Amino acid sequence: MKKFILITSFAVILISLLSFIEITPTSAEYADLTLNRYAEQAGMPPVVFPHWFHRIRFKCKVCHEDIFLMRQGSNDVNMQKIIQGEYCGKCHNGKIAWAPIYCDRCHSGPSSIVIPEARGFVK
């Protein structure tokens, strides 16, 4: 009987302590990177790269060091190279992941630039 009371007391204390822990879901915004080396110069909003969104799906070695160097400023990411299949274009080629033809999917960072509505393009 003493063993039952001890185990029950321990369980009640444990459950009480666990009720104070706040559980929050993983946010895809954690560790997002803003790329703006060329974007605003070209009249586009900065690129927001959802690093954590990719990280929860793939291991680091999928992208680092073969595609991206792990040193800030050492990757000259630009649209021409992406379209040629480098950097983001390794996967975002229309076969593995969506092609880089939907500008606002990446160019979604805060900016003072207002982009006029493009005629003839499908959103």
Q: Is residue 71 part of a domain?
A: yes
pLDDT at position 92 is: 96
CA distance 69 to 109: 23
> Per-residue confidence at 94, pLDDT binned at 50, 70, 90?
very high
- Token pair of 98 as six digits: 């969506």
pLDDT at position 7 is: 84
Number of domains in the chain: 1
Q: Is residue 10 part of a domain?
A: no
Question: Which CATH number goes with the domain that contains 61?
Answer: 3.90.10.10
| Mean pLDDT calculated for residue range 51-63 | 90
Cis peptide leading into residue 65 (ω within 30°): yes
Q: Is residue 7 part of a domain?
A: no
Q: Is residue 118 part of a domain?
A: no
CA distance 66 to 83: 18
| 55 SS3 class | helix
> Per-residue confidence at 38, pLDDT binned at 50, 70, 90?
very high
Closest by alpha carbon to 87, among 33, 41, 13?
Answer: 33
Task: Specify the higher pLDDT residue, 49 or 25.
Answer: 49
pTM for this entry: 0.63
Full domain range(s) for residue 56 = 33-106
pLDDT at position 28 is: 46
Lowest mean pLDDT of 3-17, 52-66, 79-93, name the range.
Answer: 3-17
Q: Is residue 40 part of a domain?
A: yes
Q: For tokens 């076969």, name the residue.
A: 95
DSSP states of 61-122 as a string?
Answer: GGTBTTTB-SSTT-----HHHHHTT-GGGGTBTTTSB--TT-HHHH--S--S--PPPPTT--
Q: Residue 122: is its pLDDT beyond 80?
A: no
